[in-house]
Amino acid sequence: MVVPKGEVKRVADALLGRILSREYPAGLRLPPEAALAEELACGRSTVREALRHVAGMGLVQSRQGSGATVLDFRREGTPGLIPKYLELGQFDVDPGTMAREMLRLRTLMATEAVRLAANYTQGSDLQRARDLIDGAAALEDDPAAHAQNELETYRELVMASGMWPAVWMVNALFTPLEEINNRLAPLLPPVHKGWQRTMRRMLRAIEQQDEAAAMHEVSTWFARVDKALVDQIEIALAATFTPPKPTSSRRSQ
């Protein structure tokens, strides 16, 4: 999905915030475009584009003649919601649990990328991943850039596998993950000096089609670094954490 910019992004973010905070509860029929444009100080075309973006994230459904209705974001949402959801901090679990589960999901996705590469990649397809790993040493003083480099490395492993449905799923997650990385960048701990050695061992195991060894390298790595990282993420999430608000009394219009 194309990420909106400028006024469209501002209006889309405002609508996202109201839906995720339950100010606009599921089932609510949104005000007409003209009313939203007046309230949000923008043109109707801007509201229309913002609503199209929000609909693409699974938050509203528009029908000819009946306007847009808010959907249940918990059931219908897409990965693009994650950055805004974390920003608002209205989780149904405590920040520590959220931090641990987010890291667990990251580990599962990374190990799956490694598994796919070990099973389906031809050696020459790994060059881009190899280049990213080799270039990581120059980023050790910039944790945010290093984290971005690591994210791109796992994406390249999936690409190298040629398993295109998996690639498309990664594409859907990539932009939200970049946003999360940028948001958490100031809190990232110093880059662990063993990252490059671990990734090179992992890459050799992939080249040898040794799935077990490759997955062991990456899972062991995450187990080592996540002990410190989970505390940092919990601090970041706790800074904005508030229990979910009761459902608004707004009614369909």
- Please measure the distance between the N-terminal and C-terminal CA atoms of the chain and give it in whole angstroms: 30
Mean pLDDT score of the chain:
89
CA distance 123 to 69: 50
Residue 249 has pLDDT above 70, yes or no: no
| pTM of the predicted protein model | 0.82
Question: Residue 247: which pLDDT band, with cuts at 50, 70 and 90?
Answer: low
What would the pLDDT profile of 61-76 be if each residue is shown by its tens digit? 987 767 899 999 999 9
What would the pLDDT profile of 167-213 be if each residue is shown by its tens digit? 999 998 998 888 888 877 777 778 888 999 999 999 999 999 999 99
Top mean pLDDT of 77-86, 165-174, 177-186, 237-246 is at: 165-174
Mean pLDDT of 147-162: 95
Question: Could you give the domains of the chain?
Answer: 6-77 (1.10.10.10), 84-238 (1.20.120.530)
Residue 91 has pLDDT above 90, yes or no: no
Residue 253 has pLDDT above 60, yes or no: no
What would the pLDDT profile of 7-28 be if each residue is shown by its tens digit? 999 999 999 999 998 999 999 9
Q: Give the per-residue pLDDT at 225.
A: 86
Q: Give the per-residue pLDDT at 2.
A: 66
Q: Give the per-residue pLDDT at 245.
A: 61
Question: Residue 246: which pLDDT band, with cuts at 50, 70 and 90?
Answer: low
Give residue 97's identity as a one-letter amino acid code: T
How many other CB atoms sit within 10 Å of the CB of residue 136?
19
Q: Which residue has the higher pLDDT, 236 or 126?
A: 126
Q: Which residue has the higher pLDDT, 102 or 247?
A: 102
